[in-house]
Amino acid sequence: MASKLRKIATEEAFSIPEVAAALREVARSPSQSLDKNLVKGIYDPLKPGEGYDALDFLSGLLDVEDRRLKEMDKLGVDMHLLSLTAPGVQMFDADTATELAALANDRLAEICRRHPTRFAGLATFAPQSPKRAAKEMERAIEKLKLNGFILNSHTNDEYLDDPKYWPALEAAEALGACIYIHPRAASYGFKGPLQDYGMDSAMWGYGMETGTHAVRMMCSGLFDRFPKLTICLGHMGEAIPFWLWRLDFMNTRAQAGGRAPKTKLSMAEYFQRNFVITTSGVEDHLALDYAVKKLGPDNVLWAIDYPYQPQKPAIEFMDSAPLEEETKAKLYHKNAERIFRIAPA
Ligand code: 1DF
Ligand code: MN
């Protein structure tokens, strides 16, 4: 039976023509990044209408207020929490990235202002220039009234445990705004065995890359410096909930052996204190049950991953989940309202 609960989907992608054009340039550049498979396929397809292009992701990304909204109406999806699609601005030079991030945030804020009950938004920033990023983050929350931030894993093969990025983390913590760490393809040093069989993609490589990013952050001791920082991970937590026991056991050993910094809390405690996860692209009731039990019903949020995942099955997955009604309400909207400061209906 279809649920009447308010439904806020929290990993919903969009783009703007200017970013799409800049990604077409990346597709034609000599870059060896593993992201080029996807970027070429979507923004510069060899054979229009075939391969990646057959799925017509680009038109789904560029359309927000027309076909998407009509489908949301038809299916009873109340709200998309929008974010600029991966790899966002993270493959551009620092100046281009900074400019395009501000432009994308302006456009996103306009959409949200036109449809305040249907769209909310995660702001983009350019980690290539951490100080300018921190300024844009402040503007995005205080002036544009956006709801948090999106980051697509590594930037030029570096991760957020690198102190150069801390101005962005400081800004997010001070603003009380969550950073959604979304996948992109694995960094240069991590790509070797992911290059065959399509494994660079959301099938496997995305989760490996993004889960590794989060584990680096936890092991680095970064959450002792930023105890109030909240990170959101998609794809049922990029497998980390399943790994928590082992992460704790082996990190204790690594700390004792001097291979990892001493931390105030255990890895599982950081994950439970500083992270929330979403269900994007993992429509598996057993995995959901495990995540809710392991992390608690306040720390799991519903997501679709439109247009990369279809909306209808994501709703059917949640509607049919064997969860108590109150838990379902938390996953469908209450947790999103709290974490992303979305006004209750
Ligand atoms: C894909 C999947 C592309 C996800 C995405 O953004 C993305 C895909 C470029 O299947 O090509 O966000 N995802 O989150 O699983
Ligand atoms: Mn996604």
> Is residue 246 situated within a structural domain?
yes
> Is residue 100 situated within a structural domain?
yes
> Is residue 274 situated within a structural domain?
yes
- The tokens for 258 are 């001097």
From the list 35, 53, 200, 305, the catalytic residue is 305
Q: Which helix (H) or strand (E) holds 212?
A: helix 205-220
Which of 38, 182, 308, 309, when mutated, tests ligand 1's pocket best, judged by the most ligand atoms within 8 Å of its CB?
308
> Is residue 53 situated within a structural domain?
no
> Is residue 109 situated within a structural domain?
yes
Ligand 1 contact via 85 beta carbon (within 6 Å): yes
* Residue 75 structural domain: 8-12+58-339
> Is residue 234 situated within a structural domain?
yes
pLDDT at 1: 60
Ligand 1 contact via 301 beta carbon (within 6 Å): no
**Residue 315 is part of a domain; what is its CATH number?**
3.20.20.140
> Is residue 311 situated within a structural domain?
yes
pLDDT at 17: 98
Q: What is the pLDDT of residues 73-117, one digit of tens each?
A: 999 999 999 999 999 999 999 999 999 999 999 999 999 999 999
> Is residue 32 situated within a structural domain?
no
- The tokens for 244 are 């928590």
10 Å CB burial of residue 114 (0-12, 13-18, 19+) is: exposed
Number of structural domains in the chain: 1
> What is the 8-class DSSP label of residue 21?
H
Q: Are strands 79-84 and 149-152 parallel, antiparallel or unpaired?
A: unpaired
pLDDT under 50: residue ranges of the chain: none
